[in-house]
Amino acid sequence: MKTRIKELRLEKKLSQQTLANYLGVNQTTLSKLECGLSTPDAMLVISVSRFFQVSTDYVLYLSEERLSADLLLADNMHLLKKYQHMISMFQKLTPRQQKDFYNLFCSILDVNENL
């Protein structure tokens, strides 16, 4: 089965060993997958799609669209929950701590705004 794993790996300038380590497979297994000598299981396809932030259909040449609407929505929901948690923590700070945090954050982003 042909996949885009090699194409995606080369795009990120990763070695087979580096990607194999991340995916929890050995380098020989990854090499066989990239050459089409072996078929990836569903969990590996999901891991590849998450690592490269593309749809599973894209990995498997079932689509030319890199991101599916479902994947974008799931990612946005994850970020929304994380931001809501951060806002909740920020609201628990004293006004002085909020000001200091805000100013630190602005300095990290190189934004000239002060509370």
Residue 72 has pLDDT above 80, yes or no: no
Most confident region among 9-18, 55-64, 100-109 by mean pLDDT: 9-18
Q: What are the boundaries of each domain within the chain?
A: 5-59, 69-109
Q: Is the pTM here over 0.85, yes or no? A: no
98, exposed or middle or buried, with CB in 10 Å at 0-12, 13-18, 19+? Answer: middle
Each residue of 78-109: pLDDT tens digit?
A: 788 888 999 999 999 999 999 999 999 889 98
Angstrom distance (rounded) from CA 45 to CA 107: 40
The class level of CATH for 5-59 reads mainly alpha
Query: What are 15-47's pLDDT values in tens digits?
Result: 999 999 999 999 999 999 999 999 999 999 999
CA distance 112 to 69: 36
Give how far the C-alpha of residue 1 lies from the chain's centroid of Cα atoms, to the nearest Å: 24
